[in-house]
């Protein structure tokens, strides 16, 4: 952070009733997932349609500290949702508004990622304060939330990304411990390719060109490579371009059926 449905949660704002995500015109469609209304003042208007979901970890010592920061006007940072370790879901900014979660970032042809995305903060101390695995109940809520947002805005799997994907020089979250496979097996994110392809033998420069074609900002080659590894080869994040990385990236770039990106 720093810069299936049916999840019932408690409230932080002391109201005695749950709010369904998107209560109002879209309430019927979203009634499966409940959240705590915990508004942040840190938002403005979007200038782009929603085409992305960005996942973050909070990277602070505890959830309460993260929530306080996301609601602090001086911090100038926010997210649309926050998922606590016990699976509780907080809504902090309405989806039709531009939350301030991405910072300086880029993905594919988008430079104003805040305007084009829904941001989800996931409570975890992160690399600075004791990075640890994400609890199953937390991931269950993340999966349910991503599924509803993806369906609501018709977001492609290739545009469901981590903070490190869109800002590889600055960010490492949600990190190599995040279970992307749990989203991928539900068709909520791109899976790690399993095809046994021949190594294309790209030079480092060629690999970076391919990485840029896939969507990354490759101004810093090592940072972009490490972000790619965190996402698609998390067991070894060393910034080195090897045959396995080349094969994975080649598979990701192969043509896919329409709507399967």
Question: Between the CA atoms of 256, 115, 70 and 184, what dihedral angle is there, to the nearest 10 degrees?
Answer: -10
The predicted pLDDT at position 1 comes to 62
Mean pLDDT of each 10-residue bin along the chain, 261 residues long: 42 36 33 87 99 99 98 99 98 99 97 99 98 98 98 98 99 99 98 90 97 98 98 98 97 78 69
The predicted pLDDT at position 196 comes to 79
Provide CATH 1.10.101.10 ranges for the chain. Answer: 192-261
Q: Which one is catalytic: 30, 84, 95, 121?
A: 121
H or E segment and range at residue 63: helix 63-70
Q: Is 121 a catalytic residue?
A: yes
Domain 1-190 = CATH 3.40.50.300: no
3-state secondary structure of 118: strand
The predicted pLDDT at position 2 comes to 47
The predicted pLDDT at position 197 comes to 86
The predicted pLDDT at position 255 comes to 84
Provide CATH 3.40.80.10 ranges for the chain. Answer: 1-190
CB of 42 closer than 8 Å to CB of 70: yes
pTM of the model: 0.88
The predicted pLDDT at position 111 comes to 98
- CA–CA separation, 36 vs 30, rounded Å? 14
The predicted pLDDT at position 257 comes to 64
Instruction: Name the CATH topology of 192-261.
Output: Muramoyl-pentapeptide Carboxypeptidase; domain 1 (1.10.101)
The predicted pLDDT at position 82 comes to 99
């Amino acid at each position: 952070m720093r810069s299936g449905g049916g999840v019932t949660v408690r409230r932080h704002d002391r109201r005695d009733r749950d709010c369904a995500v998107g209560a109002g015109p879209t309430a019927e469609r979203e009634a499966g997932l409940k959240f705590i209304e915990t508004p942040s003042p840190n938002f403005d208007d979007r200038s782009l349609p929603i085409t992305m979901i960005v996942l973050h970890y909070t990277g602070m010592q505890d959830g309460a500290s993260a929530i306080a920061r996301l609601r602090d006007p001086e911090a100038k940072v926010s997210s649309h949702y926050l998922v606590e370790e016990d699976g509780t879901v907080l809504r902090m900014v309405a989806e039709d508004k531009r939350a301030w979660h991405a910072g300086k970032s880029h993905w594919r042809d988008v430079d104003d990622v805040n305007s084009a995305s829904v941001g989800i903060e996931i409570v975890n101390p992160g690399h600075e304060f004791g990075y640890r695995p994400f609890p199953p109940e937390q991931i269950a809520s993340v999966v349910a939330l991503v599924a509803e947002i993806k369906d609501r805005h018709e977001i492609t799997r290739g545009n469901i990304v981590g903070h490190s994907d869109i800002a590889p020089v600055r960010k490492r979250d949600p990190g190599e411990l995040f279970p992307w496979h749990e989203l991928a097996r539900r068709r909520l994110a791109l899976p790690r390719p399993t095809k046994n392809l021949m190594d294309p033998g790209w030079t480092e420069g060629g690999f970076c060109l391919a990485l840029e074609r896939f969507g990354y900002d490759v101004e810093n080659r090592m940072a972009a490579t490490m972000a790619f590894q965190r996402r698609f080869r998390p067991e070894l994040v060393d910034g080195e371009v090897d045959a396995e990385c080349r094969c994975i990236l080649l598979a990701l770039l192969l043509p896919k059926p329409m709507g399967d990106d």
